[in-house]
Chain A
Amino acid sequence: MSLRLTIITPEKVILDRDVDEVIAPGWLGEFGVLPGHARFITLLRIGEFIYKAGAEEKHLALNWGFAEINQTKVTVLVETAEFDQDIDYKRALAAKQRAEEELKKINTITDAQYEAIEAALKRALLRLEIYQRYSKRPQ
């Protein structure tokens, strides 16, 4: 038995295939899914999303999303998701610096702004981390 993994963004379906295992950044912490999992609906945090199929292992940087899991299917709705090899390193680096720059003005920003900047920083850091960890490794 295998899992059907579908990753959907508002603009298109970016992945739809059978996999053996999924590891996702759940709201209450990272969780793994194997075939036969109980029915489960969760929000996803900004984090690393991994799936394994045979010897293949893929990593994605995930923005806000949510996942529906049942025994044979994992459906992920996300705002954006990027495979490690598609990450734009320079852009992520620039985003990180911009966010850090803005955080220095901490006294003048509102809570909502702070949250937005923090999320941007988290996304940038995640992209950098995934890029550095996997992109140079031959698949």
Chain B
Amino acid sequence: MPTLAVIRKRIKTVGSTVKITKAMKMIAAVKLRKMQQQAVNARAYSRKIEEMVQEITARLDTIVHPLMRRPEEIKKGVVILATSDRGLCGGFNSNVVRLAVQAIADARKEGRGLEFITVGRKGRDSLRRFGITPKIDLSGSSGSPDYSEVVEIANIVIDGFSNGMYDEVSFIYNRFVSVLTQKPTVETVLPLNRVGMPGAEEETAGVKVIYEPSIGEILSSLLPRMIESRIYHTLIESAASEHAARMTSMDSATNNAKDMIDHLTLVMNRARQSAITKELMDIVNGAEAMR
């Protein structure tokens, strides 16, 4: 049985761990709320831009923009992998990395090329272990996505898709289902799905609309912004998931540590009691011997 002093020291250590995990949990909760607010703030823009693109494309009958192209065969794809910079967030990173590894295996089997853009240090490091260097890596701000980063990613995928370097752009990230659940998800960004394609919607009434300078130019200005807004939205969602995952994992860590303290306290009391008994016995024995 460990000595009293050793157990006391352990209780103290576990106690300070509790302080840390508790603080991390509360910080994550605040950050999660901030991200949710950011998501709400960004929604107005993304909703409007989607609505406009849809309305305009519904009026077109041919594909007029390179971003609207539909490749017949996918020769090379690019994946935006959203992870966190820091750990201590449960299965958050390993779950998406597993999906990424799956994607690599599938691509190799089918002889497709696959490149990666990583957001977050963990994703980059995991890919390195598989001998893959991301095309670009944006690390250091996974907890709070910034629009300038989004523009950087968007430019690469938009250029790459428009000039035919990539035939598919997808996202691997943690979808935010609820504070307790985050679902690792693969989502296609390009080619665009049916919404945002000609003929997807019925002609919106017969209202005559004036377009300046022209419907085509407005569309080519809007489409890249729509992609940007979608990427931004996904990164915010991934950040919200990160904070939620950290919150729940830190919560269970706090609980585990508390259980451990309870257990250690029990062991300590037992040890204390047996020490006292032993001392008493010594005294009694000593007194007996004196007689």
Q: Which residues of A contact B (CB under 8 A)?
A: 6, 8-13, 26-28, 38-43, 64, 66, 68, 75, 77
Which residue of A is nearest B41, CB measured?
A12
State in angstroms the CA–CA spacing of A66 and B223 once bound together: 12
Q: Which residues of B contact A (CB under 8 A)?
A: 38, 41-42, 44-46, 48-49, 52, 56, 147, 150, 207-213, 217-218, 221-222, 225, 228-229, 232
CB distance from A57 to the nearest CB of B (A): 25
Known pairs A40-B212, A41-B209, A77-B45. 8 more at Cβ < 8 A?
A10-B229, A11-B38, A11-B147, A12-B42, A13-B44, A42-B211, A42-B218, A77-B225
Closest 4 CB pairs of A and B: A12-B41, A42-B212, A40-B210, A8-B45
User: Do B212 and A10 have beta carbons less than 8 Å apart?
Assistant: no
A28 and B212: CB pair below 8 A?
Answer: yes
- 26 residue pairs A–B, Cβ–Cβ below 8 Å: A8-B45, A8-B48, A10-B46, A10-B147, A10-B228, A10-B232, A11-B41, A11-B45, A12-B42, A26-B212, A28-B212, A38-B208, A39-B208, A39-B209, A39-B210, A40-B212, A41-B209, A41-B211, A41-B212, A41-B218, A43-B221, A64-B221, A66-B221, A68-B48, A68-B52, A77-B48
CB distance from A14 to the nearest CB of B (A): 10
Contacts of A8 in B (CB 8 A): 44-45, 48
Q: State how many angstroms separate the Cβ of A72 from the closest Cβ of chain B.
A: 14
Most buried by A among B44, B147, B213: B44
Partner pick for B45 among A9, A41, A42, A43, CB 8 A cutoff: A9
Q: How far is the CB of A69 from chain B (nearest CB, A)?
A: 9
With a cutoff of 8 Å between Cβ atoms, the chain B residues found around residue A66 in the complex are 52, 218, 221-222
Within 8 Å by CB of A10, from B42, B56, B211, B222, lies B42
CB pair B212–A27 under 8 Å, yes or no, is: yes
Residues of A within 8 A of B56 (CB): 41
Given A10-B42, A39-B207, A77-B212 contact (CB < 8 Å): no
| Max chain A Cβ within 10 angstroms of own Cβ: one of B46, B52, B56 | B52
Name the residue on A nearest B46 (C-beta): A10
B41: chain A residues at CB < 8 Å are 11-13
> B218 contacts which of A6, A28, A43, A64 (Cβ < 8 Å)?
A43
Interface centre among B49, B209, B229 (most CB of A within 10 A): B209
Q: Which residues of A contact B150 (CB under 8 A)?
A: 10
Whether A27 lies near B213 (C-beta < 8 A) is yes
CB nearest to B213 among chain A residues: A27
Q: How far is the CB of B200 from chain A (nearest CB, A)?
A: 18
Chain A residues in 8 Å Cβ range of B212: 26-28, 40-43
Give Cα distance in the complex from A42 to B222, angstroms: 11
**Closest residue to A9 on the B side, CB-wise?**
B45
A68 / chain B contacts, CB cutoff of 8 Å: 48, 52
Residues of chain B with a CB closer than 8 A to A41's CB: 52, 56, 209-212, 218
Select from chain A the residue with minimum beta-carbon distance to B217: A43
Complex CA gap A6/B42 in Å reads 14
Which residues of A sit under 8 angstroms from B52, Cβ to Cβ?
41, 66, 68, 77
CB distance from B211 to the nearest CB of A (A): 5
Closest B residue to A40 using CB positions: B210
Closest Cβ of chain B to A39, distance in Å, is 5
